[in-house]
Structure 1
Amino acid sequence: MTVLASRAQLRASFFRWALFFVPVVLLLGFLSGAVSGSGADNPWFAALEKPAIYPPPVTFPVVWSVLYALMGLAAALVAAAWGARGRTAALVFFVIQFALNLAWSPVFFGLHEIRWALYLLGAIDVAVLVTLVLFWRVRWQAGALLLPYLAWVCFATLLNYELQVLNPHADGSEYSGAVQRIEL
């Protein structure tokens, strides 16, 4: 016997891992955003001046749902690669980059720290790139599934930078939502 598992066993292993990773990644991504009050209806965020490259607000939940599903599938491909060299390191980096990803919404939307969120995105960019390379080494398909995610976080970094430039006064500010009347 020269193989560890048959094709059917490997397929079953992938499906089991996918049934774990995809819902967990989607759920944690949703919870991170929900707990931090992320979204266009956040009063502090709504008051920010938006750059010209800012997409319609409906774009974000759709894109993140797709990206989280792709991330879960990529992680499942790697997790199902029993005995593959670099599998453990790839999964550890996946967890690290995902933890950084989950921290962004609370930093940006919850704490209103635009600059710190930008620094965090720089770390996310590097962590996603490392994860992508490690995934690619285990299974190239898993690395390929992370390419849209890398592109989006690079775009998010640019968007965060533009928000920082346009709104330096809003960095770390407390926004009460109260209306201020000025009589002339």
Structure 2
Amino acid sequence: MFREISDLMKERMNYLELIDKEDRINGTPKSQRLRQIPPETGKFIALMLAASPDGIAMEIGTSAGYSSMWLALACRETNRKLITFEILEEKVKLACETFSKAGLEDIVELVHGDARYLINKYSGISFCFLDCDKDYYLDCYEAIIPKMVRGGILIADNAISHADTLKPFLDYVYNDPRVDALLIPLKNGELVCRKK
């Protein structure tokens, strides 16, 4: 799967990695930063998506589309589309540019809006990568889990780097009888949930 990263995707990934690095150094306001995942996390979520059951692949928090590119690799491998949600207008524009330049417009459906209120349109979700504003994790989780197929996988980013902020969410998930959950200590920490 990873050998199939096109030159267009590599070029766009490198471009976004450079912007993200500069954002973290130059004091770019938090809301404007790309705040994207590291490549190792990208490979991890792509592997998990490829191993998930049949159904809808979803992402909440597109930003500029970096993680979406990794997920698109798995979607190509498993013959699915990715539905990704982004609420900020300027990030939607960047993500559209990313999907166009990376040749992914046939695989990725970008939805501009608040996923918490739009997920109810979908059912049969088999995979979701959650990487939005941390205050909304629990609301998103509660919208997704009832719509997930048995064996579906939800991955929540930043479970270690934002552990204090996410503590109520993490405690809730660890005690949720609908899922099995495990914290993976990869980079910023990935909470992996599998629906029972």
TM, length-normalised to structure 2? 0.30
Identify, as 1 or 2, the structure richer in helix.
1
Identify, as 1 or 2, the structure richer in strand.
2
Q: Which has the higher contact order (CA 8 A, sep 6+)?
A: 1
